[in-house]
Amino acid sequence: MIIYPIKFTPILKEKIWGGNKLNKILGKVSDKSGVGESWEISDVEENISVVSNGSYQGQDLKELIKNHKAAILGSNNFKNFGCNFPLLIKFLDARTDLSVQVHPDNDMAKRYHDSFGKTEMWYIMDSDTNADIVLGLKNKNINPDILDDINADNVKTVFNRETVKNGDSFFIPAGKIHAIGAGVLAAEIQQTSDITYRVYDWDRKDDKGNKRDLHLDLAKKSIKPFYSNERASYKLRSNEKANLVKCDYFTTNILDISENQVVDYSALDSFVIFMCVEGELNITLNNGSEILKKGETALIPALTNKVHLDSVNAKVLEIYID
């Protein structure tokens, strides 16, 4: 196959909570208002990403994998997932708080939806002053039935909130209650799943005056107790990488790049995804190179051995399955 950094056309999603940072900060062009999500790499049904550059331009992700199999995914990933891409890669912009929600693990998702579960992570790219997120319940031993009676008067006593700043990173395992708060722009890496159980939606209504559905019965079955806020502890040094998350479903590192460097992936049996979260860089491998700007994403096929990264000011998320 022809090996080069593969980029895709973003799939932009209007959301009741969406803002304008995807456009103003990341340059996502849309005639829609309230765009809350940019799906960068997706194999979700009816939302299959389409290649936007190079030799495979116009092919969708599913076609690309069917044609090249392990050369794209890696041998072990192809064995485990077949022609399905195992991760969903997004940028999110919250003008107002997202609904408080929880996702099922693999077992529950398989039982109720014939799907994978949804473990995810966030990297905070931009945040307004005092912006925060919901992470878990304030009382870790609280009876899940409390979720049946949440309202504007008691909501502050139920959910734990964590103030965030640029560069923070959080791991959100399946079963953990969570919500991105108003004023937060984040990169999100997750299993390929679009299953969300909505717990509380701040009593808001859509443009037709209707409240969005809640999914309390399923949410209560999926909730698990977690005793950490799962904020990554890392020190980022120039021209080195630091680990943010390492779990069964993905590994995410952050690289601070201020000079030309070569990354050797010959021992890695996986695709690699780069998400540029600051600055811009040039990615060169085998047959081609691409400029990756802040807010852009590239897929590096698993067949790749060495990647040349060149920048004076870039921070990049490096994602793969180990």
Residue pLDDT, tens place only, 42-84: 999 999 999 999 999 999 999 999 999 999 999 999 999 999 9
Residue-level pLDDT at 55? 96
Residue pLDDT, tens place only, 221-273: 999 887 778 899 999 999 999 999 999 999 999 999 999 999 999 999 999 99
User: How many Cβ atoms sit within 10 Å of the Cβ of residue 99?
Assistant: 20
Cα–Cα distance between 29 and 100 in angstroms, integer?
Answer: 28
Q: What is the CATH number of domain 241-320?
A: 2.60.120.10
Residue-level pLDDT at 201? 95
- 11-74+82-222 and 241-320 share one CATH topology? yes
Q: Are strands 306-310 and 261-264 parallel, antiparallel or unpaired?
A: antiparallel
- The answer to whether 86 touches 249, Cβ cutoff 8 Å, is yes
Domain spans in the chain, listed from the N-terminal domain onward: 11-74+82-222, 241-320
- The answer to whether 8 touches 271, Cβ cutoff 8 Å, is no
The CATH architecture that domain 11-74+82-222 belongs to is Sandwich (2.60)
| Positions marked catalytic | 198
